[in-house]
A and B are shown apart, each in its own frame.
Chain A
Amino acid sequence: MILTHEHKELYRTVKKFVEDELNPHVAEWEKEGIWPAHEVLKKMGNLGLLGISKPEAYGGMGLDYSYEVVFAQALGNCTCGGIPMGIGVQTDMATPALARFGSDELKKEYLAPAIAGDMVVSIAVSEAGAGSDVASLKTTARKEGGDYVINGSKMWITNGTQSDWACMLVNTSEGKVHANKSLIVVPMDAKGIDRKTKLDKLGMRGSDTAMIFLDEVRVPQRNLIGTEGMGFMYQMMQFQEERLFGAASGIDGLTNLINETIEYTRQRQAFGQSLLDNQYVHFRLAELKTEVEALKALVYQTTEEYVAGRDASMLASMCKLKAGRVGREVTDSLLQFWGGQGYMWDNNISRAYRDTRLISIGGGADEIMLGIISKLMGILPSKRKHEAKKAS
């Protein structure tokens, strides 16, 4: 991936924004369990950062996805994972399907304000009984008059206690589980929505995560994104951006933590020398740095493929898998080198240790990524083979 002057300027703006406007508040927001999404996103909207690869007609910049990846990477300078995640939901997880398949009217009403930073957005796919197995979700939307009437619940919804609308995956008919689903824009102030429950989490504490109940919630049928029954497909496409974004936003935070750990172990003395002078310590740090650079290379390669319009689903799944694994390995080893200090609650390293744990779970667990990669490698046993075996 070639980084132009414009990519570098974008990186600089975002990094500066993160350092001046986010990092000074991280400790406070983590304590409160929520970030001021409206305030932060409005500021980012003013800088033109929320619609980087979105169409210009709705206030976006119409740039290719490499700029979005640089944006995600720069957000990684945030000293917590929760805020970049909340921002990423807005830019790359909840809005790509609307931008790609939504009607002009729907985009004017919901995409344009999301890009301007006037509306905060959630992606509502998971349910208490359907996380990895998205197709088995139970929330329904039946047609009545000009409306959809939605019943069910959604679980672990990022930005969910404060978002203005959610891109929600629901069953709009009976029948085959991959062909009965639709994505619908659901205004979160609609009657019948209960989203009071803010979930208490191991990490990502500055990001609010909601449990949402929907009881006879009426939404106009024109809030349907694209074609009815295509929701599952649209969501699988939307997951690609989510995964690439998630992986890209992990890189620079890990690099910063390695650098902090180098400084810490250089200063700290034990047995008459600095911790860093132990070969075990500096070799390990060299190893971890190598892992992070390899992750970056993979993210850049995937971005290139994606920008060139080639199918990047295998690579995007690899990015997500690798980001989760590298994130866990790096933060675990670094925490070890910080010793008792690392085990304390309020510091960058223990926060990262808790936050990065999510990467291997959210947006498709590691095992789901392995399933996708296996399938695309042609080594996943097919259902038919299973059935044939059973029959014989």
Chain B
Amino acid sequence: MKVLVSVKRVVDYNVRIQIKPDGSGVVTDGVKHSMNPFDEIAMEEAVRLKEKGKVTEIIAVTLGGAKGEETLRTALAFGADRAIHVKEEGEIQPLTAARALAAIFKKEGAQILFTGKQAIDDDANQTAQMTAALLDLPQATFASKVELDGTKAQVTREIDAGLETLEVDLPAVISADLRLNEPRYLKLPDIMKAKKKTIEAVSFADLGVEAAASLKTIKTTPPPTRSKGVMVKTVDELVSALKAKGLV
């Protein structure tokens, strides 16, 4: 069974985000980047399934500029067999990403597309769902447990009311939530081996994909700074303070 894992290069989660002075976005130049943490989880899941003998080939895919190659090398060190780099500079909107992933999915004849539930840069949480729609495939998002059984996948998902278990026919799209697994430490030998694995570069044109422009960023602003809190000494004081504010 062939699986596709999409991995995105994002500003590292440890970086304190700065807004560009003109409000057109966040500062990314000279800022540490790494693989989207949810994509790491998706990658780890695919590798575990391969180690269990349920998956035969893992293909990592990224979309974006030249630096995306580093993210693919990380995916290859995790255990992807090969990688595809959809090399396009500039903004890539979720629908565009979904179109490209759908095209590759079809071309490769993959059985599962694993993605992170969202990327921590724009937190859009759309790509997995849109790709499933474009491919007309079942989707199981926010997975916290995945079990493969021949032509089906049992996926446990975290929802507000608790846990929900879905059974989906394969091929399908699965997006990974935080508690699906804990990604491994990359072993140094694997890091070095990844250097030798192949990365195929393709363009939107190669894939017959048209870039979507359905979204427009109007302004980027930092979240409002929290105003100073008040210390209360007793529960009674807390309750009356909340009542005074009309919050309870």
Contacts and interface: CB of A to CB of B under 8 A. Distances in A.
Contact of B192 (A12, A47, A49, A63): A63
Contact of B187 (A6, A16, A46): A46
Contacts of B195: 6
B70 A52 contact: no
Interface in A12-28: 12-13, 16-17
B189 A9 contact: no
A13 B192 contact: no
A17 B74 CA distance: 17
A5 interface: yes
A10 interface: yes
Nearest to B69: A5
Nearest to A46: B187
A10 B187 contact: no
B77 interface: yes
A10 B195 CA distance: 13
A5 B195 CA distance: 9
B188 interface: yes
A52 B186 CA distance: 14
Contact of B188 (A5, A8, A16, A52): A52
B15 to A, nearest CB: 14
Interface string A45-72: 0111100100000000101000000000
A47 B70 contact: no
Contacts of A49: 188
> Secondary structure at chain B's binding surface: helix, strand, loop or mixed?
helix
A5 B187 contact: no
A80 B190 CA distance: 29
A13 B186 contact: yes
Interface string B210-230: 000000000000000000000
Contacts of A48: 187-190
A61 B192 CA distance: 9
Contacts of A12: 34, 186
Interface residues of A, number: 16
Contacts of A17: 185
A17 B73 CA distance: 20
A10 B188 contact: yes
A13 B188 CA distance: 8
Interface residues of B, number: 14
A13 B73 contact: no
Nearest to A56: B189
A9 B187 contact: no
A62 to B, nearest CB: 9
A46 B187 CA distance: 8
Nearest to A67: B188
A9 B77 contact: yes
Given A5-B70, A5-B73, A6-B195, A13 B185 contact: yes
Contact of B191 (A9, A16, A46): A9
A8 B189 CA distance: 14
Interface centre among B70, B187, B190, B191 (most CB of A within 10 A): B191
A18 to B, nearest CB: 11
B231 to A, nearest CB: 15
Nearest to A20: B185
Nearest to B12: A12
Nearest to A43: B185
A8 B34 CA distance: 10
Interface string B163-180: 000000000000000000
Contacts of B187: 13, 46-48
A5 B74 CA distance: 9
A29 B115 CA distance: 40
Contacts of A5: 70, 73
Contacts of B34: 12
A9 B73 CA distance: 10
Contacts of A52: 188
Contacts of B192: 6, 61, 63
Interface string A221-238: 000000000000000000
Nearest to B195: A6
A221 B187 CA distance: 37
Interface centre among B74, B187, B190, B192 (most CB of A within 10 A): B192
Contacts of B70: 5, 8
A9 B74 contact: yes
Interface centre among B185, B187, B190 (most CB of A within 10 A): B185
A292 B191 CA distance: 29
A12 B35 CA distance: 12
Contacts of A6: 73, 191-192, 195
B185 A61 contact: no
A147 B214 CA distance: 81
23 contacts: A5-B73, A6-B191, A6-B192, A6-B195, A8-B70, A9-B73, A9-B74, A9-B77, A9-B186, A10-B188, A10-B191, A12-B34, A12-B186, A13-B186, A16-B185, A17-B185, A46-B187, A47-B187, A48-B188, A48-B189, A48-B190, A52-B188, A61-B192
| CB-based closest 10 A-B pairs | A48-B188, A48-B189, A9-B191, A47-B187, A5-B70, A13-B185, A48-B187, A13-B186, A6-B191, A5-B73
